[in-house]
Amino acid sequence: MKPQTLLALLGSASVAQAHLVAFAAWVNGVDQGTANNAPSYVRVHPGNNPIQDVTSPNMKCNLNGDAPAAKTVKAMPGDKITIEWHHESRAPTDDIIADSHKGPIQVYLAPTASNGNGNVWVKVASETLNNGVWAVDNLIKNKGKHEFVMPKDLAPGKYLVRPEIIALHGASVVGQAQFYMECLQFEVGGQGTTPLPAGVPFPGAYKATDPGVKYDLYTKPKPSRAADYTAPGPAVWEGASA
């Protein structure tokens, strides 16, 4: 058996101990409350299992993703938004995710009125690999927290925020990448004038054979730079960094 195949199998063996969900959001360092408590601002789904079929309708917002949440989080353009992920709870002892589950973290926005249907998802953040450190490595180091900036000139309105973690430990085999995503409901105020452009659909934005979806994490030499990994989906929207 090839070493990379063995490592992939070992990574898969820890799946039951490594699943995670978004437990909370923060705005400029202010905790918005535990999201999976009703009433919630997250479209909460049962369990913490990944989606692995990129053609599944659950690629949009996970299971139960069409059901609106009761609340929204208020934010302004340019605010620092932190999504807090956990395996089982927000307790300090929570293990977040297995460190074998390396991969990128990306964030998409869509108008809430679209309910996430159609070519509406716009990528506003993408963290992949830097100096041998994956986005998931940083997530564990930061105790489950991943930060992005709400686009600075985003027009006021209600938006779905879709953070996404891709675990690549088994991704050398087609269909074995693990996708963890949530849809959080936000209302953006302020005086921004830039609407979201046309985006991509979920499902439909990714193919199972995309180089960032089918990916050998254990190839030699070991990948260490952002250039060594091509994140799936479109480029980050220019308006996200304006």
The domain spanning residue 229 has which CATH number?
Answer: 2.70.50.70
Q: Which residue range is the domain that position 90 belongs to?
A: 21-240
Contact yes or no for 183/161 (Cβ under 8 A)? yes
Is there a domain that residue 8 lies in?
Answer: no
Given a cut of 50, the residues of the chain with pLDDT beneath it are 1-17
Is there a domain that residue 179 lies in?
Answer: yes
Is there a domain that residue 206 lies in?
Answer: yes
Gap between the Cα atoms of 106 and 97, Å rounded: 16
Gap between the Cα atoms of 197 and 220, Å rounded: 39
Q: Would you say the pTM of this structure is higher than 0.85? A: yes
Is there a domain that residue 16 lies in?
Answer: no
Say what the pLDDT of residue 219 is.
Answer: 83
The closest alpha carbon to 34, from 91, 75, 80, 81, belongs to: 91
Q: How many domains in the chain?
A: 1
Q: What is the largest CA-CA distance in the chain?
A: 59
Say what the pLDDT of residue 241 is.
Answer: 80
pLDDT digits (tens, 9 = 90+) for 95-125: 999 999 999 999 999 999 999 999 999 999 9
Is there a domain that residue 144 lies in?
Answer: yes
Say what the pLDDT of residue 18 is.
Answer: 61
Is there a domain that residue 107 lies in?
Answer: yes
The answer for residues whose C-beta is within 8 angstroms of residue 58's C-beta and 6 or more apart is 51, 65
Is there a domain that residue 37 lies in?
Answer: yes
The residue whose two tokens read 């452009």 is: 197
Gap between the Cα atoms of 174 and 124, Å rounded: 27
Say what the pLDDT of residue 64 is.
Answer: 87
Gap between the Cα atoms of 62 and 45, Å rounded: 7
SS3 per-residue string spanning the chain: CCHHHHHHHHHHHCHHHCCCEEEEEEECCEEEEECCCCCCCECCCCCCCCECCCCCHHHCCCCCCCCCCCCCEEECCCCEEEEEEECCCCCCCCCCCCCCCCCCEEEEEEEHHHCCCCCCEEEEEEECEECCEEHHHHHHHCCCEEEEECCCCECCEEEEEEEEEEECCCCCCCCCCEEEECCEEEEECCCCCECCCCCECCCCCCCCCCCCCCCCCCCCCCCCCHHHCCCCCCCCCHHHCC
Is there a domain that residue 236 lies in?
Answer: yes
